[in-house]
């Protein structure tokens, strides 16, 4: 696991208040009810600040951002 993923996991843990988020990097965050709309926006805003990227809300396709691994891929693309 690289630092980017660690950073993403720590953001997810901060937002959701759950310590075990990210133990499985392929866990579906939306299907398991970990992220709702509000938490999603918070994660996106934090990602913007932390990585200095622009995440367009409507380009935000849930299926593309649904796991820790996928978020990491998207961040890498946008960086």
Rounding to the nearest 10 degrees, give the CA dihedral for residues 47, 61, 65, 38: 60
CB of 40 or CB of 67, closer to other proteins: 40
Rounding to the nearest 10 degrees, give the CA dihedral for residues 40, 74, 55, 33: -10
Q: Which residues contact other proteins (rule: CB under 8 A)?
A: 36-38, 40-42, 44-45, 48, 56-60
As measured in angstroms, the least distance from the Cβ of 70 to other proteins is 17
CB of 1 or CB of 45, closer to other proteins: 45
Cα distance between residue 41 and residue 47, in whole Å: 10
As measured in angstroms, the least distance from the Cβ of 38 to other proteins is 5
As measured in angstroms, the least distance from the Cβ of 60 to other proteins is 8
């Amino acid at each position: 696991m690289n630092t980017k993923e660690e950073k993403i996991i720590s953001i997810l843990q901060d937002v959701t208040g759950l310590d075990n988020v990210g133990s499985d990097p392929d866990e579906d965050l939306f299907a398991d009810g970990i992220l709702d709309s509000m938490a999603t926006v918070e994660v996106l805003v934090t990602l913007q600040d932390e990585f200095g990227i622009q995440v367009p809300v409507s380009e935000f396709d849930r299926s593309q951002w649904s796991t820790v691994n996928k978020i990491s891929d998207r961040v890498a693309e946008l960086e």
